[in-house]
């Protein structure tokens, strides 16, 4: 049975993507912070897909040792990961000097370090088998500086650059392993916005707002058709296509407008 390890699989787009993988007959390995949420989400998924196999691990990915602990959990159970989805992450909002340093460091560790470490750990096994896919959840905030979501956007710029270059390296070494980079725009219906103090920020009812279902459909279609990069949501894809025509000043005006509170 094919197996997908999805970090943050019990919530938001992680859960929406899990529904596609469950429908596709995959066994799911979920890693997230909150044990109760993991148990509840597992029950909900198995109510919808009664054959779904779901294994759960509650762990804080902002801790440096957690990625290795996830890898050890997988290998000590004899599982092999066909598809790794690095999805767990969170954001901060406000002027950088107003945000507690430790909160941003925890975000950098979760969004960047855990993504990097998990990629390295599972990539080695995939390269040995010459098979597997890594799906990296970046963001449209990776494409330009984002005042008031400064450090968050920088973490996603890392994920974007690292993952797209990894795909180029895989191509260069003629590997069958694939890396799919995903850049969603603001998602209106996940916990992300409330959990990160973003309620009332215009982008969640903005130019290119999307939903968890739309993101999951776009990711699944990109994954099953062998693509290596996807901007999710038709309106965001249009804006992304236009971005080279938009001067920096106008781009930043749009970003300021989108990240303002209403
Ligand atoms: N929402 C948006 O507008 C948006 C736009 C672009 C990209 N993204 C990206 O999409 C991904 C998923 O976000 P979402 O919108 O689906 O939000 P979400 O519903 O809040 O999901 C985030 C998931 O990450 C897990 N997580 C967060 N911090 C963690 C930690 N320290 N250790 C382990 N797990 C942790 C959460 O676990 P618990 O539930 O157990 O806390 C949750 O399962 C994130 O990487 C986010 O940056 C979101």
What is the arrangement of strands in the sheet containing 54-58, beginning at the earlier edge strand? 54-58, 27-32, 3-7, 83-86, 133-137, 178-183, 229-231
Annotate 183-250 with three-state secondary structure. ECCCECCCCHHHHCCCCCEHHHHCCCCECHHHHHHHHHHHHHCCCCEEECCHHHHHHHHHHHHCCHHH
Classify residue 44 by its DSSP letter.
H
Confidence of residue 262 (pLDDT cuts 50, 70, 90): confident
On the question of pLDDT at 63 being above 90, the answer is: yes
Q: State residue 41's pLDDT score.
A: 98
Across residues 33-44, what is the average pLDDT? Answer: 98
Res 205: pLDDT: 87
Residue 207 — pLDDT band, cuts 50, 70, 90?
Answer: confident
CATH number, domain with residue 147: 3.40.50.720
Give whole-number Cα distances, 260 to 6, 30, 94, 198, 235, in Å: 32, 34, 10, 10, 20
Task: Give the containing element (helix H, strand E) for 56.
Answer: strand 54-58
Among the atoms of ligand 1, which is closest to the Cα of residue 110? 31
Determine the distance separating the centroid of ligand 1 and the alpha carbon of 221, expressed in angstroms.
Answer: 21
Q: Is 153 strand, coil or helix?
A: helix
Q: What is the mean pLDDT of residues 79-90?
A: 98
- Which contiguous run of DSSP H or E holds residue 3? strand 3-7
Q: How many domains does the chain have?
A: 1
Neighbouring-strand partners of residue 116: none
Q: Is the pLDDT of residue 230 over 80?
A: yes
Q: Is the shortest distance between the CB of 180 and ligand 1 below 6 Å?
A: no
Per-residue pLDDT at 80:
97
Ligand 1 atom 44: the closest Cα is on which residue?
A: 89
Q: Is the CB of 198 inside a 6 Å radius of any atom of ligand 1?
A: no
Domain encompassing residue 167? 3-259
pLDDT band of residue 24 (cuts 50, 70, 90) is very high
- Residues 27-46, mean pLDDT to the nearest whole number: 98
Assign 62 a pLDDT band (cuts: 50, 70, 90). very high
Would the CB of 85 count as within 6 Å of ligand 1?
A: no
**What is the mean pLDDT of the segment spanning 44-54?**
96
Q: Which DSSP string do the residues of 6-33 spell out, in sequence order?
A: EETTTSHHHHHHHHHHHHTT-EEEEEES
pLDDT at 200 over 80: yes
3-state secondary structure 73-136: HHHHCCCCCCEEEECCCCCCCCCHHHCCHHHHHHHHHHHHHHHHHHHHHHHHHHHHHCCCEEEE
**Residue 203 confidence (pLDDT):** 86
**158 sits in which H/E element:** helix 150-172
Which pLDDT does position 5 carry in this prediction?
98
Among 6, 10, 12, 213, which residue has the most ligand 1 atoms within 8 Å of its CB, making it the best to mutate? 12
Q: What is the pLDDT of residue 206?
A: 80
In the chain, the percentage of residues whose pLDDT exceeds 90 is 87
pLDDT digits (tens, 9 = 90+) for 99-148: 999 999 999 999 999 999 999 999 999 999 999 999 999 999 999 999 99
Nearest protein Cα to ligand 1, atom 26: 88
pLDDT class for 243, splitting at 50, 70, 90? confident
pLDDT, one tens digit per residue, over 176-198 is: 999 999 999 999 989 998 888 88
Say yes or no: CB of residue 231 within 6 Å of ligand 1: no
Residues 233/210, Cβ–Cβ less than 8 Å: yes
- pLDDT of 244 reads 86
What's the rounded mean pLDDT across residues 203-217? Answer: 91
Per DSSP, the three-state class of 41 is: helix
**Using 50, 70 and 90 to split pLDDT, how confident is the model at 79?**
very high
Percent of the chain surpassing pLDDT 70: 100
């Amino acid at each position: 049975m094919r197996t997908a390890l999805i970090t943050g699989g019990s919530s938001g787009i992680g859960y929406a993507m899990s529904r596609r993988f469950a429908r596709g007959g995959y066994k799911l390995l979920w890693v997230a912070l909150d044990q109760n949420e993991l148990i509840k989400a597992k029950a909900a998924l198995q109510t919808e897909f009664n054959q779904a196999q779901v294994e759960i691990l509650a762990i804080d990915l902002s801790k440096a040792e957690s990625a290795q602990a996830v890898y050890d959990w997988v290998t000590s159970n004899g599982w092999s990961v066909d598809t790794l989805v690095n999805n767990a992450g969170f954001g901060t909002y406000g002027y950088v000097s107003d945000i507690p340093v430790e909160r941003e460091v925890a975000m950098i560790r979760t969004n960047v370090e855990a993504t990097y470490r998990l990629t390295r750990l599972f990539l080695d096994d995939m390269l040995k088998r010459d098979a597997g896919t890594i799906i990296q959840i970046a963001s449209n905030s990776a494409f330009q500086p984002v005042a008031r979501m400064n450090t968050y956007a920088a973490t996603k710029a890392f994920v974007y650059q690292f993952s797209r270059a990894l795909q180029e390296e895989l191509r260069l070494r003629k590997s069958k392993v694939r890396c799919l980079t995903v850049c969603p725009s603001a998602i209106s219906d996940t916990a992300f916005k409330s959990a990160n103090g973003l309620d009332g920020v215009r982008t969640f009812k903005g130019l290119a707002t999307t939903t968890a279902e739309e993101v999951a459909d776009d990711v699944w279609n990109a994954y099953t058709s062998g693509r290596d990069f996807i901007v999710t949501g038709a309106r965001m894809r249009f804006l992304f296509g236009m971005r080279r025509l938009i001067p920096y000043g106008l781009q930043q005006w749009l970003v300021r407008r989108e990240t303002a509170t209403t």
